Amino acid sequence: MNEYVSRSDLTQVDRASSRTPSAVPAVQPIAAQQGVDPHASKPQSGDPHSTLSENDLASAAEYARVHARVADILAQLRSTSAGPTVEGAEAEIQSLLPTPMILVPLPPASKEVVESAVTLGKRIAEQASYAHAAQAHLRRGTVDQLLSIEG
């Protein structure tokens, strides 16, 4: 049951004997005509932010787009013209939020698949608050951007 082994019970390592190195085939150099190094255009810095994934980049782009749109709405609201109102600005900001949608398969699908999609759509419509909450989950990069804003 107890697998404890004391150090005195271990065999000693013989450091005096030397091993002959094994023969390893030499690596042949790659000719310049065979192609271009695919990693040559990538930055080689040690910065962890230099290798962002596509999701991180898409999230940052989405954040920038929404942030710019909100800034435009607020700028219109602050302008002296009588056109935009607070209610109109609120409606425009609400239009930026994602709307729930149900995708129904196209005609090559069987009747059962279409019926299950309709049933699923009805169930989602009945539980709209859950659907809104499910679409409210933000990507990690978006949350990082929001938290980095000094307000």
Over residues 5-15, the pLDDT tens digits come to: 666 666 666 66
Long-range contact list for 55-62, CB < 8 A, 24+ apart?
Answer: 55/139, 55/141, 56/139, 56/140, 56/141, 57/141, 58/139, 59/139, 59/140, 59/141, 59/142, 59/145, 60/141, 60/142, 60/145, 62/139, 62/142
Residue 105 banded pLDDT, cuts 50, 70, 90: low
Residue 51 banded pLDDT, cuts 50, 70, 90: low
Q: What integer is the mean pLDDT of 34-57?
A: 59
Specify the pLDDT at position 111.
84
Place of tokens 């932010």: 49
Residue 95 banded pLDDT, cuts 50, 70, 90: confident
Q: What integer is the mean pLDDT of 43-56?
A: 62
Specify the pLDDT at position 33.
45
Residue 26 banded pLDDT, cuts 50, 70, 90: low
Specify the pLDDT at position 67.
81
Specify the pLDDT at position 58.
80
Residue 85: pLDDT over 80? no
Residue 32: pLDDT over 60? no
Q: What integer is the mean pLDDT of 86-96?
A: 77
How high does pLDDT run on average in the chain?
70
Length in residues, the chain: 151
At what angle are helices 128-135 and 111-126 packed, to 10 degrees? 90
The residue that leads in pLDDT, 88 or 18, is 88
